[in-house]
Amino acid sequence: MTNIAIFYYSSTGTNYQLSKWAEEALQESGAEVKVRKIKELAPEEAIAQNPAWKKHYEETKDVPEASMDDLEWADGIIFSVPTRFGNVPAQVKQFMDTAGGLWAQGKTVNKVVSAMSSAQNPHGGQEATILHLYTSMFHWGAIIAAPGYTNQELFAAGGNPYGVSVTVDQDGNMVENVEKAVKHQARRTLEITKKIVNG
């Protein structure tokens, strides 16, 4: 079995949905999968002021939080994170920063990593967010499994050689249909992870 962790952060559900599509593709492909929510750090008062955020927060209370044990367990990782001012959310940075202990023991080395992002503007910084995340992955000694243009789906809306990028409208709905691109990226991550694990 190849272990793939999907670590996501989501305020209003977009990246949760991307993660669920990735999970579906990985399970169909026979991987051992864990979907893990990156811990919320925003104060309850801030969440309460935004009905969509509060709703999603309540709905996903039972999703297990990402831990260092999950990170150690994973052979491959898919990150799905919203764009925040052209960068990863603080919650995601905090999660990565808590990996210092594993990093110091060499346990982040050779993990296969792939990332997806969403933003409200079609040019709102999705690629920048993915690249910021990949920068930290170079320090982990991870192997980046970007989608490139490895499948016809990636020439369609939302397909992106850096990693799936989707736009959300004012109501929080995804504008492009990226399900197939997400599933391709997930399968490709698994395929590369298997090659690394099995030599």
Ligand X SMILES: Cc1cc2nc3c(=O)[nH]c(=O)nc-3n(C[C@H](O)[C@H](O)[C@H](O)COP(=O)(O)O)c2cc1C
CB closer to ligand X out of 170 and 198: 170
CB closer to ligand X out of 84 and 111: 84
Give how many residues touch ligand X by CB under 6 A: 18
10 is a contact residue toward ligand X (CB under 6 A): yes
Span interacting with ligand X, options 30-38, 64-72, 120-128, 147-155, rule CB under 6 A: 120-128
Query: In the complex, what is the shortest distance from the CB of residue 8 to ligand X, in angstroms, rounded to a whole number?
Result: 8
For residues 31-58, one letter each, b for 16 or more C-beta atoms within 10 angstroms of the residue's C-beta and e for the rest, the string is bebbbbbbebeeeeeebeeeeebbebbe
Burial zone of 169 (CB within 10 Å; 0-12 exposed, 13-18 middle, 19+ buried): exposed
Query: In the complex, what is the shortest distance from the CB of residue 173 to ligand X, in angstroms, rounded to a whole number?
Result: 10
Find the binder of ligand X among 83, 108, 165, 193 (CB under 6 A): 83
82 is a contact residue toward ligand X (CB under 6 A): yes
149 is a contact residue toward ligand X (CB under 6 A): no
Query: In the complex, what is the shortest distance from the CB of residue 56 to ligand X, in angstroms, rounded to a whole number?
Result: 7
Span interacting with ligand X, options 5-13, 19-27, 59-67, 133-141, rule CB under 6 A: 5-13
Is 76 within 8 Å of 2 (Cβ atoms)? yes
CA-to-CA distance for 142 and 103, rounded, in angstroms? 10
Query: In the complex, what is the shortest distance from the CB of residue 170 to ligand X, in angstroms, rounded to a whole number?
Result: 10
124 is a contact residue toward ligand X (CB under 6 A): yes
Query: In the complex, what is the shortest distance from the CB of residue 167 to ligand X, in angstroms, rounded to a whole number?
Result: 8
Taking CA atoms, 144 is separated from 8, 52, 132, 140, 185, in Å, by 17, 33, 13, 11, 12
Is 79 within 8 Å of 8 (Cβ atoms)? yes
Find the binder of ligand X among 94, 120, 150, 151 (CB under 6 A): 120
- Rounded to the nearest angstrom, the gap between the alpha carbon of residue 24 and the centroid of all alpha carbons in its chain is 14
CA-to-CA distance for 57 and 45, rounded, in angstroms? 12
Q: How many CA atoms lie within 13 A of 149 on its CB side?
A: 4
Q: Give me the residues that bind ligand X (CB under 6 A), please.
A: 10-15, 82-86, 118-121, 124-125, 168
